Amino acid sequence: MKRTAYSLSLVCMSYLLMSVQSAVYAQSKYVRSVTECGHAVYDKDTLVVENSCDITVSITWTSSGNVWGTALNIGPGGHQSTGSSRDDVNEAGGVETFTCPGDSTPVTGEGKPIGTHYKGRYACQRP
């Protein structure tokens, strides 16, 4: 009898711990990035950010110069012009892209908004 009660207590405690962990994860303000979805390409001579996945994404792009911005809610297979020419991008030393699911925004590893010249690790933060 004691062994059964002890086993039942362990099962209950395990279930409670899993429930708490699930609740914390569900309330997390961070989601997995989708770097494989966002690309910087050229359409004629203009830099375009495109979404190659079947989900909506948000893409932020930065450079060492004056080429930067954010495109929100680019649909599956969609794209958006950045307004920057190939010469602008070359002068800025190229661009870095940061891609997140559409319901989140790219932020630095410290949770701050990505600035105009940021290069480094990032996370995807929900509003």
Residue 120, SS3?
Answer: coil
Query: What's the pLDDT at 3?
Result: 52
pTM beyond cutoff 0.85 = no
- Quickly list DSSP for 64-91: SSS--EEEEEEPTT-EEEEEEEHHHHHH
Q: pLDDT by residue (tens digit) across 82-127? A: 999 999 999 999 999 999 999 999 999 899 999 899 999 999 999 8
Query: What's the pLDDT at 59?
Result: 96
Query: From CA 15, how far away is CA 13, in angstroms rounded?
Result: 5
